[in-house]
Amino acid sequence: MTMELLVASAIAVLTAAGVYLVLRGRTFPVVLGLAFLSYAINLFLFAMGRLVIDQPPIYDKAAEAYTDPLPQALVLTAIVIAFGMTAFVVILALRTYLETGTDQVDGHKDGEAQP
């Protein structure tokens, strides 16, 4: 019971921090927020496969129980996709900064009037 509560709390904290950072006005906190959201999704996918300790990930007739290997495979795939997405967003933010001269998400400099 305590392990499930700990994992659920970690998912909630990562999701809350990710949403808070995604709603910021600068690009770096947005990139960090997307990373936190991807970590929360990975934990959620991993927890979906039931949290079983000291059990093999492959079904064995001699074993009483086993861990479902599908969530582990999904998390590994999600890690690779999140890494590629983060690299793309960092390059996109850098290009936007070089083009506009500011790191504001909306492209306007601090203190400028917005249309």
Contact 109, 99 (CB under 8 A): no
pLDDT tens digits, 46-71: 888 777 777 777 766 776 777 777 88
pLDDT tens digits, 4-21: 889 899 999 999 999 999
Structural domain boundaries in the chain: 2-100
The pLDDT of residue 83 is 93
The pLDDT of residue 87 is 94
Using CB atoms within 10 Å of the CB of residue 36, give its burial: 0 to 12 exposed, 13 to 18 middle, 19+ buried. buried
